[in-house]
């Protein structure tokens, strides 16, 4: 099935807007505002990676910070431990995350519903504890980046965040383009079929195990790419930063807020949560870390009760009402 002209127009308009955003004169030129923009794109990408498994395939995982962390550690070790450019670590971390995802998910997919989600909780804790005591990866102290040459070769800058923004934009383009392609092809239809009714999908000849393993492999690979960007942006990594339930929950909640199983949901969710998180912490300091979670919790409760499909569902509802009103006027 082809995409409508309106969908294609929206896609290209959004890409142009995002590409030009940091160049607009005014408040967005400041370093803090650009940090917020970078964070929005990064968490939108990570949430979209989770959305492939949790939204499109219907397998709710709270373990995605493990794949995110493997990508971060792969890149960090390439730079800190072996003195290389980050790129070999990016590739190695992404493929290792994919292998780990398949290995741990094959037995877990025998579990259904809440039991699968609970199993992924345990996996996060296992990897967190393992990395806390594993000296080869820096243990609890983690890895701190040395000061090395700026530029795209080392993907590191100190004077401006504009280059990081365009790095995040490239990552956004890769992940969202893939999901956009997936939605309109067999893989996306198979995932949705498994999500909406695994037994019914299997009766029609869909191999649900193969579909779920494909979904988590792709999801883990893309999550690791996000982790690689995260460590390059923060210039350090330790287990609590990347392999934690807190980090996993952010990806899940951002997607739920924006809209599960939708292309634009993760971006909308990140565009709401990340500024809320960053600006409350900037205004209220340590207290802001609690205020943003309180506000976000209230938003999630309202969304789940009033509009389970998230912000995208609310937008669709408004669009249908507007269309109905125009039809009534005619």
**What is the pLDDT confidence band of residue 290, given thresholds at 50, 70 and 90?**
low
Q: How do residues 247-256 score in pLDDT, each as one tens digit? A: 888 899 899 9
Contacts of 54 (CB under 8 A, 6+ apart): 60, 61, 252, 255, 260
Within-domain flag for 327: no
pLDDT at 329 over 60: no
Q: Does pLDDT of 1 surpass 60?
A: no
Cβ atoms of 192 and 185 closer than 8 Å: no
Q: Where is pLDDT greater, at 111 or 163? A: 163
What integer pLDDT is reported at residue 287 of this predicted model? 59
The overall pTM is greater than 0.85: yes
Q: 75 lies in a domain?
A: yes
- Beta pairing, strands 236-237 & 143-144: antiparallel
Q: Cβ(233)–Cβ(40) under 8 Å?
A: no
Euclidean distance between CA atoms 241 and 293, whole angstroms: 17
Range of the domain at 165: 5-243
Check residue 286 and give its pLDDT. Answer: 60
Q: Does the residue 136 lie in any domain?
A: yes
Calpha distance 68→238 (Å, rounded):
12
- pLDDT(95) > 60: yes
pLDDT in tens, 167-190: 999 999 999 999 999 999 999 999
Task: Evaluate the CA torsion angle 253, 273, 224, 188 in order and state its sign.
Answer: positive
pLDDT in tens, 218-273: 999 999 999 999 999 999 999 999 998 888 888 998 999 999 999 999 999 999 99
Q: Is 48 within the bounds of a domain?
A: yes
Q: Is residue 92 part of a domain?
A: yes
Return all residues near 137 (Cβ < 8 A) that are at least 6 apart: 73, 77, 131, 143
At 70-87, the pLDDT tens digits run: 999 999 999 999 999 999
Computed over its alpha carbons, how large is the radius of gyration of the chain? 20
Whether 326 is in a domain gets the answer: no
Cα(55)–Cα(261) distance, rounded to whole angstroms?
A: 4
The mean pLDDT value for 3-32 works out to: 87
Instruction: Answer yes or no: is 273 within a domain.
Output: no
Lowest-pLDDT range of 17-26, 128-137, 164-173, 304-313: 304-313
**Comparison of pLDDT for 263 and 4, the residue scoring more:** 263
Report residue 143: phi and psi, to 5°: -125, 130
pLDDT band (50, 70, 90) for residue 46:
very high
Cβ atoms of residues 63 and 70 within 8 Å: no
Across the range 153-159, mean pLDDT stands at 89
For residues 206-210, give the mean pLDDT. Answer: 89
For the chain, the domain total comes to 1
Residue 306: the pLDDT is 76
Please, which residues bridge with residue 151 across strands?
156
Query: Ranked by mean pLDDT, which of 42-56, 109-123, 308-322 comes out on top?
Result: 42-56
Which run of H or E residues covers position 237? strand 236-237
Residue 52 lies in a domain: yes
Output 20 or 326, whichever has higher pLDDT: 20
Other CB atoms within 10 Å distance of the CB of residue 179: 21
């Amino acid at each position: 099935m082809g995409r409508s002209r309106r969908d294609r127009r929206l896609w290209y308009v959004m890409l142009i807007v995002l590409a030009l955003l940091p160049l607009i004169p005014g408040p967005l030129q400041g370093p803090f505002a650009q940090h917020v923009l970078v964070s929005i794109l990064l968490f939108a990408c990570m949430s979209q990676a989770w959305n492939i498994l949790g939204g499109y395939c219907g397998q709710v995982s709270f373990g995605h910070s493990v794949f995110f962390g493997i990508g971060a550690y792969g890149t960090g070790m390439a730079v800190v431990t072996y003195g290389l450019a980050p790129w070999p670590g990016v590739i190695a971390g992404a493929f290792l995350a994919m292998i780990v995802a398949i290995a741990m998910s094959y037995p877990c997919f025998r579990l259904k519903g809440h039991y699968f989600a609970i199993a992924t909780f345990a996996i996060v804790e296992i990897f967190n504890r393992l990395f806390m005591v594993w000296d080869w990866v820096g243990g609890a102290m983690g890895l701190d980046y040395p000061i090395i040459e700026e530029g795209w070769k080392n993907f590191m800058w100190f004077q401006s965040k504009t280059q990081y923004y365009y790095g995040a934009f490239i990552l956004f383009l890769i992940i969202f383009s893939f999901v956009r392609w997936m939605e309109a092809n067999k893989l996306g239809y198979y995932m949705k079929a498994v999500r909406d009714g695994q037994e019914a999908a299997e009766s029609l000849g869909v191999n649900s195990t193969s579909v779920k393993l494909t979904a988590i492999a792709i999801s883990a690979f893309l999550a690791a790419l996000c982790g690689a960007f995260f460590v390059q942006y923060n210039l350090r990594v330790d287990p609590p930063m990347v392999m934690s339930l807190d980090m996993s929950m952010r990806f899940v909640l951002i997607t739920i807020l924006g809209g599960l199983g939708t292309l634009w949901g993760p971006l909308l969710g990140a565009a709401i949560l990340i500024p809320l998180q960053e600006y409350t912490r900037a205004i209220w300091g340590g207290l802001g870390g609690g205020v943003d979670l309180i506000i976000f919790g209230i938003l999630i409760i309202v969304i789940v009760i009033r509009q389970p499909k998230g912000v995208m569902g609310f937008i669709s509802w408004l669009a249908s009402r507007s269309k109905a009103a125009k039809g009534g006027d005619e």
